[in-house]
Amino acid sequence: MAIEIIATGRAIPAKRLTNHDLASRLDTTDEWIRSHTGIGARHIAEEGVAASDLALEAAWNALAMAAEQRGVTKETLVQSLDLIILGSTSPDYYGVPSTACIVQDKLGVRNAAALDICAACSGFIYGLELAAGFLALNASRKRALVIGAEILSRIADWNDRGTAVLFGDGAGAVLIEQTEPSGGGRRGLLRSMLRADGSGAESLIIRQGGSRNPYHGTGDERPPRVEMDGRAVYNFAVKALIGTIETLLAGENLTIHDVARIIPHQANARIVQAAAKRLKIPESKFFLNIEEYANTSAASIPIALDELNRAGGLQPGDLIMTIGFGGGLTYGGNLIVW
Ligand code: COA
């Protein structure tokens, strides 16, 4: 039995905000943002568009890809879903209902479980492992959608140049399937590593709006917005990248030469460059599209997978590694034979 990614999809809002656009309303420059992060632009959802809307578009795109491969309609395929799992830091609603349930309803899926997971920028790598485990537990469960969807522009503090420049909106989805052994070697998800370090919770936090600090919208309360200790998160992220690569490789007795591509969470190109330098891995092994999309949290890895996949950058049999890290703190990765 294998759990394979059989299709990918993404949804990117058309509205594009460049660093120059931001510099006209914040005390920042294109030069600062590029040199400190590698970001050149971000895409911003129109008013009225929620995370579930982008998630739905990405999901249909993945379903359409799979349907075309199988010679069936995507409406038929959608009814074979057993699970929809969605990672988001900017869900449609806080707490209830889950954004996954909204997607389930709009897809018209009748017999699937649906839930959100809160693992910030590690949402996709957590979701993939959890969905794979859900399928593997029962041979009658065949397919699941794993989605990362974010409208971070709604929770960014647009007065804080230290965070506002970092984030963008978007969604990515993968369709995974439980497949029978084919005798052709190992396929699909080989191994994941999922870790958490809640001692770092304060370094990336939306302080208001939960049961700890309910938001009443009165007085001098701050509205729910992302707050970040950039330096602490940077140091954590570099260590998380290095540790995840080393642990995943050691677990399968592999070297970095066996890995065709590393798809890291797109938080900051400098984080990737620092980890690559420490591990003596060519930077070209890491796929980066942060220049165009900025940090889309849980969506960044499935967006990158879809972009690579549709550009022919992932060949059957390629060993790829996804790595996530972010609020919680959470981190980890997946090792996948494409
Ligand atoms: N434009 C211009 N100047 C800026 C700026 C901006 N957008 N943001 C911060 N600065 C300024 C600061 O005010 C500070 O000025 P000062 O020296 O006069 O006080 C200076 O730049 C250095 O700030 P600092 O925060 O030390 O910069 P940095 O080199 O640590 O870079 C980050 C800041 C946010 C880019 C970096 O810490 C980072 O990438 N951290 C990880 C963030 C992340 O990836 N989060 C998501 C994880 S999933």
Residues 11, 306: contact at Cβ < 8 Å? no
| β-strand partners of 34 | none
**What integer pLDDT is reported at residue 221 of this predicted model?**
77
Over residues 228-244, the mean pLDDT reads 97
* Residue 217 binned pLDDT confidence (cut-offs 50, 70, 90): confident
Q: Which of 146, 179, 212 is the last residue of a domain?
A: 179
Q: Which of 151, 179, 207 is the last residue of a domain?
A: 179
Q: Which residue has the tokens 């620092």?
A: 274
CA of 273 to the centre of ligand 1 (A): 16
Same domain membership, residue 315 and residue 175: no
192: helix, strand or coil: strand
Q: State the chain's mean pLDDT as an integer.
A: 96
CA 174, 177, 183, 187 torsion-angle sign = positive
Q: Which of 179, 206, 221 is the last residue of a domain?
A: 179
Which atom of ligand 1 is found nearest the CA of 228?
45
Q: What percent of the chain has pLDDT over 70?
A: 99
Q: What percent of the chain has pLDDT over 90?
A: 92
Same domain membership, residue 173 and residue 31: yes
Same domain membership, residue 94 and residue 154: yes
User: CATH no. for residue 94?
Assistant: 3.40.47.10
Give residue-wise pLDDT tens across range 297-314. Answer: 999 999 999 999 999 999
Between 181 and 229, name the one with better pLDDT: 229
| β-strand partners of 294 | none
Same domain membership, residue 314 and residue 213: yes
Same domain membership, residue 132 and residue 201: no
Per DSSP, helices labelled H in 161-289 are 161-164, 230-251, 269-279
Same domain membership, residue 217 and residue 153: no
Residue nearest to atom 42 of ligand 1 (CA): 230
Total structural domains within the chain: 2
Same domain membership, residue 156 and residue 194: no
Mutate to test the pocket of ligand 1, among 36, 90, 158, 204 (most ligand atoms within 8 A of CB): 36
Residues 52, 93: contact at Cβ < 8 Å? no
Give residue-wise pLDDT tens across range 26-44. Answer: 999 999 999 999 999 999 9
Same domain membership, residue 287 and residue 333: yes
Which atom of ligand 1 is found nearest the CA of 163?
34
Would you state the torsion angle of the CA atoms of residues 159, 161, 166, 170, taken in this order, to the nearest 10 degrees?
A: 20
Give residue-wise pLDDT tens across range 92-151. Answer: 998 899 999 999 999 999 899 999 999 999 999 999 999 999 999 999 999 999 999 999
Same domain membership, residue 323 and residue 201: yes
Same domain membership, residue 60 and residue 10: yes
Residue nearest to atom 20 of ligand 1 (CA): 162
d(CA 251, CA 230): 31
Same domain membership, residue 212 and residue 142: no
Task: Return the active site residues.
Answer: 121, 265, 295
Q: Is residue 292's pLDDT more than 90?
A: yes
**What integer pLDDT is reported at residue 284 of this predicted model?**
96
Q: Is residue 182's pLDDT more than 80?
A: no
Instruction: Report the 3 state secondary structure along 139-183.
Output: CCCCEEEEEEEEEHHHCCCCCCHHHHCCECEEEEEEEEEEECCCC
Residue 93 domain boundaries: 2-179
d(CA 49, CA 7): 25
Same domain membership, residue 307 and residue 272: yes
* Residue 1 binned pLDDT confidence (cut-offs 50, 70, 90): confident
Residues 61, 20: contact at Cβ < 8 Å? no
